Amino acid sequence: MKDELKYLTGFGNEFSSEDERCPGALPEGQNSPQKCPYGLYAEQLSGTAFTAPRDENKRTWFYRIKPSVCHDVFEPLNGVSVHLTHDWGKISPNPNQLRWRPFDVPTRQEPEVDFVEGLHTICGAGDSRCRSGLVIHVYLCNASMKDKAFYNSDGDFLIVPQLGPLNITTEFGKMRVEPNEICVIQRGMRFSVTVFGPSRGYILEVFDNHFQLPQLGPIGANGLANPRDFQTPVAWYEDRDVLYKIINKYQGKLFLANQDHSPFDVVAWHGNYVPYKYNLDNFMVINSVSFDHCDPSIFTVLTCPSNRPGTAIADFVIFPPRWSVQEHTFRPPYYHRNCMSEFMGLIKGHYEAKAEGFQPGGGSLHSCMTPHGPDANSFKAASAAELRSERIADGTQAFMFETYYGLAVTEWASTICNKLDSNYYKCWKTLEKNFNPNQK
């Protein structure tokens, strides 16, 4: 689907696209003319307040066959994705180190489960009604969405496929997102997901603000995730008069409305509020070349900043293949306690600082001020390793969702999924006492 994507030239700029079947569909010089070309309707999608500062203002103009207001009444969608929740008070808090084995994916032999039906909430904090907080989900599905579209009124989705590619149709066009790629579908954007068998992945949802590239500071003009490597869809439309189900996530609940036409009828669009994808292989790693560790924030791909300078509602951080050349330094991540909460997932491979129980498709959560670090075997091996330049994380892609919110774990993640590893704490139990006051 290479021909259905184009590269962004930078975050915050203006982009435009029109379906090649209708040249000239973009009006010239006026967003909402009295009569749009081809008899289209003009519709604006606003991602920020109208009066947001110009460099922060997000909006896109659609030129579509029918406006999205043409649908029946929304009714509660009962019995679907019962494990999607914003209820953070259902179970008691748990400050322990938590680790999940790979979450089960429905097989081809089981009843069909599509992307929306396969949403399961692991943990979260805050309130979408006040636009404050975030949620971490996994999706576990085996079937494509058929004549069905989904949009989220609560926040933005950062989607991290782990098993199986996703073909995502949006109002802006199509994206194919493979494991080791990510995509962001922002608040209000309608989309449908096609899969090709059992599929699994992670989702970071933020209620407030939008994801952006982190500031580079003394790094300078280049490095980390570069704007040129992000891609957004090329306009594509379908003109189908069929019964379509529109599912809306609103205040943590799902609602359904029917309409008599495809929601993917946008012939042209322009704006700076767009879905986009990014290949994690394009990340330019910045790392130490002398001694000590750089903080993991140096691996930030995208951030959703809070109103407190330097503090993120959520960061998306990766630990990609790279050279490690530190001198006289313990190379795996050191033991630490953090004022942030850290959820880690594994797309592929074997993460250097975790025991064998941390597997692709699983996860771990180290909450605010909960101590964590390398397991006993990793510590022993790294302490005795020859210090030389070496490649680490080849064939591996681990990531972290980091937030300053205290995260509450859901009932599904605690008990129902039956994947929580009750023996996780034991990976540190065999750390030995090496202290000897008579030997430096």
Give 362-393 pLDDT, tens digit per residue: 999 999 999 999 999 889 988 888 888 889 99
Mean pLDDT, residues 88-102: 95
**Residue 366 appears among annotated catalytic residues:** yes
Q: Is residue 111 part of a domain?
A: no
Options 4, 293, 350, 411, the catalytic residue: 293
Which residue from 153, 149, 97, 117 is spatially nearest to 372, judged by alpha carbons? 97
Q: Is residue 332 part of a domain?
A: yes
**Residue 293 appears among annotated catalytic residues:** yes
Range of the domain at 359: 283-424
Q: Is residue 369 part of a domain?
A: yes
Options 137, 270, 366, 402, the catalytic residue: 366
DSSP assignments along 350-412, one per residue? --TTS-TT--TT-EEEE-TT--B---HHHHHHHHHS--S-EEESTT-EEEEEEESSPPEEPHI
pLDDT at 1 over 60: no
**Residue 110 appears among annotated catalytic residues:** no
0.85 exceeded by pTM: yes
Q: Is residue 324 part of a domain?
A: yes
Distance of CA 99 to the CA centre of its chain: 19
Q: Is residue 64 part of a domain?
A: no
**Residue 210 appears among annotated catalytic residues:** no
Options 86, 120, 137, 372, the catalytic residue: 372
% residues pLDDT > 90 (the chain): 82
Q: Is residue 377 part of a domain?
A: yes
**Residue 120 appears among annotated catalytic residues:** no
Options 18, 43, 171, 342, the catalytic residue: 342
- Per the structure, the count of domains in the chain is 1
CATH code, domain with 354: 2.60.120.10
DSSP assignments along 81-138, one per residue? -TT----TTSS----S-EEEPPPP---TTSPP--TTTTEEEEEEEEEGGGTEEEEEEE
Per-residue pLDDT at 8: 53
Strand partners, 174: 169
Q: Is residue 316 part of a domain?
A: yes
Q: How confident is the model at residue 11 (pLDDT cuts 50, 70, 90)?
A: low
Options 336, 350, 356, 402, the catalytic residue: 336
Q: Is residue 302 part of a domain?
A: yes
